[in-house]
Every structure is written in C-alpha cells, then in structure tokens.
Structure 1
Amino acid sequence: MIDNHRVVAWTPYGRVRTYSILIKYLERDVRRGLIDEVWAYMNTDSVGQEDDIAYAHELAEQFDWFKLKHRPEGIDLGNLPKQRYTGLAFREMTDPDAVYLRLDDDVVYIHERAVENLVRARIQMPAPTAIFPVIINNAICSHFLQHCGKVPREWGEVGLYCMDSNGWANGAFAVKLHELLLSHIEAGTVEDLYLYQDFPLQPGTQFSVSCFASLGSMYAGLPGGPGVLIPDEEESFHTIHHPLSTGVPNILRGDAVVSHWTFMTQHAFLNQTDLLDRYRELADKAVA
C-alpha cells in the first residue's frame, strides 16, 4: 500500500516475450510493499497464443499476488480487434480506495522510484482522469523531453501529437531513445531524464496509454455503471472524452520514468537490435 491506498498494477496481457521482462519489475515492487496485487487481463487468442497463456498461468501458480482476469461474459463487441476489448477490464476496478496502475505488456523498464512517485501524485491530485509517467518511446513524452532539453532535437523534432511522424512512426528515433535510456540506467543517472515540472495535457489531447495511474473511486461512480466506460475504447475514454466532459486536464508527471518497447510502426527497426536483450539483463538484476 501507498498512503493507505491499495495499489493494483494491471496489464492487458498477451505477449510473454516482453511481459517476462515487466514482471520482474512488478515482483520487485511487490517485495518492496509498493504494489499489492498484479493483474493480467487476458487479452489473448485461444489459438496461436498457447505459450503466452501458459506463461500467465505459471505466474498465477507461482505468486499469490498475481491474478488472472478475464473478459466479462455476455458482451459482444462484434468483429473488432482484440485491443478494443481492453476497455471492459475497468469493470474490475471499482474499489474506491485503490489506485490502479495500467501498464502495456511491453513496458520493459520501471525506475525504482516510478511507482511510488506516480501513485502519490495520483492520490494528491484526484481530479484528472489519468496521471502519466514520463514514458520513454511515447510521442508526447518525447515532445516534452525535447522541450526540457533531455532529448536532442537533432534526432528529429516531435510535435504534441500522439502519432507524430518521428515520435510514433520513426523506428530509428525509437532506437535512439532506448539507447539513451539504457545508457542512463547503466550509469545510474535515470533521474537526469526527469522533467523540471509536471505538464498538464489539454482536455481532448489523445495520448498513447502505455502507462497511467487512475482511481477506483472514479470508475465506481461512472454514470453508465461501475467501471463501464463510455465510449468503451480505453484510450479514447481516458484521454479524450472523459477529460473533455470534466474539463480537467490529464497530468504528465515529471519524476516517474518507465520505458515502452515499441509501436507497430517501429518493429522492423527495434527487432534488429540487441536492445530488448539489454532490458532483459537489467530486469533480471532488479530481482536478483
């Protein structure tokens, strides 16, 4: 718990390749008393993902704090990609005293102070829909990192747009970002990437939701029912529609750093590098 709030870290789960890195950081922070439970929301296909599913079940057998969550029964979203089903997960997140920390299953690094700083900010600022950390490989975060002089503009300027041509679509730019972060991790200087302040995000600003903190009290009181998002697509709800309906900006927190591995536009570049192996080695050390 943090400040008498239960902390649940949850992930739309599907890929053992990267989740096997993330789980090491979550295990570290469970051991440190910062995270109470870890949920894997099973966003998997029954055919073709047998190994991914088996790994999640192995974790559930190994750790009593690791829970498997499933799509609610009786809801048919039609012929939509499975990513659209993640909005249904919030029906599980209605404990008014809990902070829910959402992480993509390809978050491959969590700084040792990130969870505590992000959750405390979430508790201290209850009005925003979502509070985001500094996410390495997130276009809007890269925009602010450049604004604060942390990422060179010579690599290509990044605008305030979640699908910016450099910050989202440029694989070579992503490689440089990961190399920058890894150099700081290895030197013990990750805090040099902190932003000099928190930045409010104008309501309606779409933001890639690879990681954010939210409150169970918000979901418990939604007008459509506990945990029922309207619209049910989680990124649209958290970064566009709900901030616009409340008039309250989301917050980019400057003193919490995580790393998001890749967008689909970057796979070809990143998969040719040894960067994921370097992240895996660091994660192994986190629980050694």
Structure 2
Amino acid sequence: MAGRKRMSATFKLGQNMHLLSCTALLMITLITLAYNFNPLPASTVRHQPLPVQVHHKRSEAQPRQEPKPLQIKTQVRKPARKPNSENILCIFAGRWDFLRINFAYIYRSLRKNGGVLDKVYYYMMMYDNQTLSKLTELTQTANNILGKRVFQLRFRNRAKDTSARPVPKGTFEGFLYEVFNDVAKHPERKYFKMDDDIVYIHPGTFRQLIEQQNTSECFIHFANIGGANWRCSYIHQEMGIYDNEAINPKKLKFQFSRDGLPKCGWKSAECAAVAMEAFFYHYQNKSLEKLLFDGRYLTPERARFSINFLLMDSNLIDIKAMMESGPILTSDEHWLTVVYSRKVKKPNCVVGRAFVVHFSYFTTLGEINKHDFLPRFETIAYDLVKELPEALQTSLAFNQTLGS
C-alpha cells in the first residue's frame, strides 16, 4: 500500500512538473513578446465584417453543419520585405528517409537559387544516431558550398533519446514556444513550420504563402496539403478530385470532423492511399493544377487542423489570446489550431497554390509503408537531386537506393 502511495505521489509530481514546465515556457515567451513589441491584440482590433458565407457562431441548440462548398478568396497581397528581414524554414525533424527526399526541394527554394528562404533550422526530435550523422554531414556540406551557415541543427536535450514514440513530454510544445520566442525577438522575419515527412514541395510554395498572406482576413495561413491532411483532403473532395474512378475506385468519402480525427481522412489507411494516388495520378499526367486553386480557402468552422506546413510571423502573436489560452498541455497542434485560434476573430485559411504533400499520420504509417509510395516520391525528387552539386548528391546517396 505504501508503495502504491509513493508511486501515485511520484506520478502526480511528474504531472505537476510538466504543467509547471509548460507554464514557465509560456510565461517566458509572453515576457519576450511584451518586451520586444506591444501590438494591439488581434482580439481587440476592429476588423471589416467577414464575408456573408462565413459560418457564424451557432447556439448549442442548433445542429452542427458541415462547411459550405468551396469558397475562395482571390485578393493577392504583395510581399513587403523589411530591411534585414529573413525567411526561415523550421523543420520538426528528423527521419532520414523523409529528410533526404525533401532536401532538394528546400535547396531549390533558397534565395541564392531564386527562392525566398534565407535559413533552414532542423529542430531535432524523433531522430536516431544514423539520422544525426547523415544530416550533420549533409548540412555541413551544404553550408560549405553556400559559404555561410544556412542550415542549422537545433536541440533541446541531445542526451535524451527521442527516436521512438511516445516522444518525451514537452518536446513538441517546447520547440513551438521556441519558434514563437524567435518570432517575438525578430518581428521582421517570417518563419515556415514544416513536418519532416513532407515529400513534395511545389515550385513557388514558400513565395505563395508570403504573397497570399492577408492578415485582415486570415489568422494562420496553411499550405494546400496533399496526401495525409484530413482538412485539405476534404477541400480536394469538394473540388471533385476523388470523383475520378482511376483514383478512387471504391468511391470512398472523406469525412469532416471538428476534432480533426475523422475515420476517412485520419484513421483509415485506405483513404490515405486514395489521397496519395490522387497526387501520383495528376503528377504523372502533368495535371497537378487540378489540385491547386487561386487565392485562399477560409476555414471558419474552427476545426482542428493538422500543422504539417504553415506560415508563422508576428501577426500570429496576440498576447491577450495567449494568456486566455494558457500553456500547451497535451498537443501543440490542438493548442495552436483549436484553443488559441478560437480566441481570435479571424479564421485560419489554406493558400491554394502553396501545394505540398504530407506522407502519413502515425495512425496509418504502418499500412502506408506497405505500398511503394516512398520510392515513388524518391524517384520524383531525384530529378532535382541530379541538379545539385556533386558533394550533396554523394551525401544524399540516391544512386544507391534507386540503383542508377
């Protein structure tokens, strides 16, 4: 009995320490925000009324409805690049099988190569020693070629094993706070948050997120995410993408779910495979434009959104809303897109021509890996890899896996 009491006390102590840690991280971030700038909170700014098609708050007595058909905003916002500003990609890493595929897309997107990215930060989590070794070699080689430290690895605790699930508590939220902290210190910068298993990035995606940013209309700006992203899959369904029998022979229907966890769209590997096949079908037929759309798609229903690829800058900082939201306790995604996003008036939106492909949710990864999807993405990426400097090609070793 005494042993059980001690175990219970230890468990409660661990919970309390996690809560205190999250609260401390939030307070440090908020203090930094307040010190660096004091913007009028978004929740108190007078905005122009949202368009009539936006869903208004329903009373509990009213039944929940699915979002109305595809509604697109087309006003283009030109980028206003401030002096000394930088655009920084933050990748929550790292699994080498995916990182080696998306590297060439990222390298193409550097400012030196005609893109808009100035730096790339790898926030190291869920990595093993092999990934650390290969990624270190790759980034050092790239920096030597570029003549400056563009690619950087960031750690919270290098001694802690984060290679397997569940990831230690505080890992994801700690890194999200770190990004917010950087945003507060450098409000002139723009940051992109990206999952490590983004396996395709359409030309101009980063530029589109900047140029289509409309802070009077949208709060968070997400990429148009193919593959595993339930909300974008639902948009693509509205666009008729899955009506094609060659893509969806069983006529599966992606579901809408405010909690962001629908069976067809999050849990079902069969539905995930359909979303993948949609990309490959249109890529092979040179018709990827079918998956893209102009402008922005508003998501006023405030459902949970998978944070696979998004733009982050000082426009996301609302100190009053952050204080009301409290610390991140269970999920950085839930906190950002549900708890925090519902404290501000503007809905989140999807930028239609900022197109990427996310490989898989953890719920479907085992089944998805039974398909040949990853080698197919590798083959597509190889067209870019062949254009890289020879030293980078050697580090990525595509010729070994593709047998060429």
Instruction: Report the TM-score range of the alignment, normalised by the length of the smaller protein.
Output: 0.7 to 0.9
| Aligned residue type for 1:192 | K
Contact between 1:133 and 1:257, CA under 8 Å: does it hold in 2?
yes
User: CA shift at 1:224, angstroms?
Assistant: 10
Q: Which moved more, 1:209-218 or 1:15-24?
A: 209-218
Residue 281 of structure 1 aligns to a residue whose secondary structure is helix
Corresponding residue of 2:341: 243
User: CA shift at 1:135, angstroms?
Assistant: 0.7
User: CA shift at 1:41, angstroms?
Assistant: 0.7
User: Which of 85, 88, 98 is the aligned partner of 1:8?
Assistant: 88
Contact between 1:202 and 1:249, CA under 8 Å: does it hold in 2?
yes
Percent identical among aligned pairs is 20
Bigger Rg, which one = 2
Check if 1:181 corresponds to 2:279.
Answer: yes
User: CA shift at 1:80, angstroms?
Assistant: 1.8
User: CA shift at 1:237, angstroms?
Assistant: 3.2
Corresponding residue of 2:51: none
Q: Over aligned residue pairs, what C-alpha RMSD do you find? A: 2.8
User: CA shift at 1:72, angstroms?
Assistant: 8.2
Question: After the TM superposition, which residues 6-85 of structure 1 pair with which residues of structure 2 at under 5 Å, given as runs?
Answer: 6-30=86-110, 31-44=113-126, 49-64=128-143, 65-71=150-156, 80=169, 82-85=171-174
- Which protein is richer in strand relative to its size? 1
Structure 1 residues 207 and 216: CA distance shift in structure 2, 3 A: same
Question: After the TM superposition, which residues 1-288 of structure 1 pair with which residues of structure 2 at under 5 Å, given as runs?
Answer: 3-4=80-81, 6-30=86-110, 31-44=113-126, 49-64=128-143, 65-71=150-156, 80=169, 82-90=171-179, 91-94=181-184, 95-122=186-213, 124-125=214-215, 128-136=218-226, 137-152=228-243, 154-161=251-258, 162-195=260-293, 198-202=296-300, 204-216=302-314, 218-219=316-317, 222=319, 230-231=327-328, 233-287=331-385, 288=387
Q: Which moved more, 1:145-154 or 1:93-102?
A: 145-154
Contact between 1:11 and 1:40, CA under 8 Å: does it hold in 2?
yes
Segments ≥4 residues shifted beyond 3 Å: 81-86, 126-129, 216-219, 221-225
Structure 1 residues 10 and 256: CA distance shift in structure 2, 3 A: same
Structure 1 residues 71 and 121: CA distance shift in structure 2, 3 A: farther
TM score, norm. by length of structure 2: 0.62
User: CA shift at 1:84, angstroms?
Assistant: 4.2
Q: Matched residues in 1 for 2:333 and 2:188: separation?
A: 23
Structure 1 residues 270 and 72: CA distance shift in structure 2, 3 A: closer
- Flag structure 2 segments of 5+ consecutive residues without an equivalent: 1-78, 144-149, 159-166, 388-404
- Flag structure 1 segments of 5+ consecutive residues without an equivalent: none
Contact between 1:142 and 1:151, CA under 8 Å: does it hold in 2?
no
Residue 157 of structure 1 aligns to a residue whose secondary structure is coil
